[in-house]
Each structure stands twice: as C-alpha cells, then as structure tokens.
Amino acid sequence: MQSALYVSLSAQVSLEKRLETIANNMANMKTAAFRADAVKFETALSRAGAQPVAFSSPGQNFISRKEGAVTQTGNPLDVAIAGNSMAAYPGGPDPGATTWMAFQGPNGPVYTRDGRMQMDINGQLRTLAGYPVLDSGGTPIIVDPDGGALTISRDGTISQGINQVGQLGLFDIASDAKLERFGNSGVIPDRPATAALDFVTVGFQQGFVEGSNVDPLTELTHMMMATRTFQNVSSLIQDSESSVQNAIRTLGDPSKA
C-alpha cells in the first residue's frame, strides 16, 4: 500500500486549514483586540501494530495571546489593558497568565481586550455589540448618566467628579487554559478566570484602544510557505501515482515476469 499517498493527502488537508486560518487573520488585521489564530501541526505515527501508518494531522487551532499595539483615541469610554498580571494560583504564580476585561455574554462571562465601551440611557456600560461590561465581581456596571464625564484609573476605578461610581473588572486566565473564540475579539476559557489583584504589572489606560495582534508580514510569509509546500505535496502525489502506474505496467507485462 502506498503510504506516501495518504501522507500527501492528509498534508494537503492540513495546509488547506492553515491557509484558511491565515486568510481569517489577514481579514481581521484592523479589528480591535482581535487575537490571531494559529495552527499546531505534527506528524503522527500509529503505535506498534500490524499495519503502521504515517500521516500528517489536520492541525489544532489555538488563539495567540500576544498583545496588540495600543492607539490613543482620546475617547473617555475607551480603555486599553497595559500588560498582564503575574497571577497567583494555588499551584503558585503563573507568568504566562493573561489579563482580560469581561462582559456578560449569552451564556456567561466572555473575556476580551477590546475596551471600547458605550453608555446606554440608563447609565449601564456596554460593549459596542451591546453586552453589559462587568466589574471584578461579575456584576454589570451602572453609572449616573447625568453625572458628568467618567475618569477611569489604572486599577479600573470609575469616578464622576469626586464620586467613585464603579470599577472595571480585570481577570486573569491561566496560561494552560484552552480558549474558545466568541465573536471577533472575545474568548471563553475552559476554566474559570480569576479577578486580578496585582495592578503593578497590569492596568487600564483610559482613552486608548488595543489593536489586533496580527503581524501582516509574518502572515504573508506563512501564506507563501504554505502555498509552496502545498505545491510540493501535489508534486509528491503525482510522483506516487506515476510509480504505481509504472509498477502495474511492469508487473502486468508477462515478458517482464
């Protein structure tokens, strides 16, 4: 049996998935706080058995946690998260943990680095998509719609004049938590996030917005490499088919038996 054919076909599936991922990243280069998708590839060999088979896996998507560039907007309802908390967990500090804001999604909290907010007529802070922004206790934030401009400090405290009226929540997601995408810039971890308490290494910047973490040059390079590899794999398939045809002709010719 021609194992090279199965390796090549599975490689094409993997590369097609990679190209789709790159195209989606490129399409969201200007999306605020978008986190790029990447794919893990590996060659898997079956364990010892009667018919060992080598193949290329279709890959596993994961969401990059790298920070995006921060741009000043001057809008008091825009905030960017600067840095990441050195979160403490029962097993000890997790230097790879990342810090996020939260909003109330349809089925529970959703975490994001997109700090663009709006205030409804009742004074509730919402995302641009209309979801309620949450404080550190997971409660929607409501301010006085007639209380004047909002001032947001590094730790998320919201003030109107001399009055403190709320506090934006910051949440740490462990480095080994798997993230599921929600919309363009939201994520849902497979384990609960914890409220951030360390504002030395992380904090809010009012009047700023974090952009996408997609690096267009890197993505373009990856696209070129994946396209070239796809072409090489196609050539391998053609060579494999030719070798099979030659074998059939040779074995089927009685004069060559």
Residues 170 and 187: their CA atoms lie apart, in Å, by: 14
Please tell me whether residue 150 adopts helix, strand or coil conformation.
Answer: coil
Separation in Å, CA 136 to CA 139, 171, 197, 233, 241: 7, 7, 9, 51, 61
Longest Cα–Cα distance of the chain, Å, equals 101
pTM: 0.80
Give the residues across from 71 on adjacent strands: 209
State residue 123's pLDDT score: 96
pLDDT at 14: 75
Nearest to 162 by CA among 177, 173, 147, 141: 147
HSE-up of 13 (CA within 13 Å, CB side)?
13
Cα 143 to Cα 120: distance, rounded to the nearest angstrom: 10
Contacts of 80 (CB under 8 A, 6+ apart): 70, 113, 115, 204, 205, 208, 209, 210
Residue type, 105: G
Paired with 143 in beta bridges are: none
Written as tens digits, the pLDDT of the chain (257 aa) is 456 666 666 677 778 788 888 999 999 999 999 999 987 655 443 444 444 555 555 557 789 999 999 999 999 999 999 988 766 555 667 778 899 999 999 999 999 999 999 999 999 999 999 999 999 999 999 999 999 999 999 999 999 999 999 999 999 999 889 999 999 999 999 999 999 888 888 999 999 999 999 999 999 998 888 888 777 776 666 666 666 666 666 766 555 55
- Tell me the helices (H) and strands (E) count for the chain, helix number first: 2, 21
